[in-house]
């Protein structure tokens, strides 16, 4: 994929009323090279581009401000979801967001289904990260440190995970919640 920014450089140069020759001299390159860059005939080295940006008194970020890569869209079909059951709690992975380096996931989303009288988590320990939840159906209780919070359908919650916490279903039906964690803990891709 080729990205063209020559027109932007030309526009900046002309607004500053600088000639090709003046920019070339200050940048230590030939007038011909500046002309070819502005006409998108050649791609300059990073060093040359940084020098030209400095001569034009413009941030390099501005030169690339309209550049957007097409990012992959990740779709997980309902039938293809990863599902884990821990004790009696069911976790259905919805999706995850991969770090910019593409090696690990930074955020993970899943549906939690907690049967009546059951719970997830521990009131004895926490773990690194943050969690965000949205209660889809049912009623429960979040024990967070020394505090208790009653939650029900439509409620949302968020907290730092390093405090001991557990979510208990104290309702009459399955407690179902959309849950997002960072960093991921359940469905870690290698």
CB 140 within 8 A of CB 114: yes
Over residues 65-102, the pLDDT tens digits come to 777 666 677 788 999 989 999 999 999 999 887 665 45
- Identify the domain containing residue 58 by its residue range: 6-63
Inside any domain, residue 190: no
Rounded to whole angstroms, the Cα distance separating 100 from 107 reads 12
- Tell whether the torsion through CA atoms of 49, 21, 54 and 7 is positive or negative: negative
The domain that holds 156 is classified in CATH as 2.60.120.10
| Percent of the chain predicted with pLDDT > 90 | 65
Residue 175, pLDDT > 90, answer: yes
Domain count for the chain, please give it: 2
Residue 190, pLDDT > 70, answer: no
Task: Enter the pTM of the model.
Answer: 0.60
Q: Which helix (H) or strand (E) holds 151?
A: strand 147-152
Within this chain, do residues 149 and 173 fall inside the same structural domain, yes or no? yes
Inside any domain, residue 126: yes
**Closest by Cα among 157, 158, 156, 152 to 171:** 152
How many helices (H) and strands (E) are present in the chain, helices listed first? 5, 10
Taken as a whole, the chain contains a residue count of 190
């Amino acid at each position: 994929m080729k990205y063209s920014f020559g027109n932007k450089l030309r526009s900046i140069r002309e607004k500053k009323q600088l000639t090709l020759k003046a920019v070339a001299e200050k940048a230590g390159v030939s007038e011909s090279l500046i002309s070819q860059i502005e006409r998108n005939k050649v791609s300059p080295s990073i060093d040359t581009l940084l020098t030209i940006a400095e001569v034009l008194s413009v941030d390099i970020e501005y030169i690339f401000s309209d550049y957007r890569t097409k990012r992959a869209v990740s779709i997980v079909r309902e039938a293809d979801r990863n599902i884990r059951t821990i004790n009696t709690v069911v976790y259905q992975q919805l999706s995850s967001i991969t770090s910019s380096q593409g090696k690990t996931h930074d955020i993970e989303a899943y549906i939690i289904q907690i049967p009546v009288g059951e719970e997830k988590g521990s009131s004895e320990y926490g773990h690194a990260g943050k969690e965000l939840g949205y209660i889809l159906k049912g009623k429960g209780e979040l024990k967070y440190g020394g505090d208790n919070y009653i939650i029900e359908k439509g409620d949302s919650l968020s907290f730092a995970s390093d405090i001991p916490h557990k979510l208990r279903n104290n309702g009459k039906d399955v407690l179902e919640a959309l849950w997002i964690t960072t960093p991921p803990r359940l469905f870690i891709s290698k």
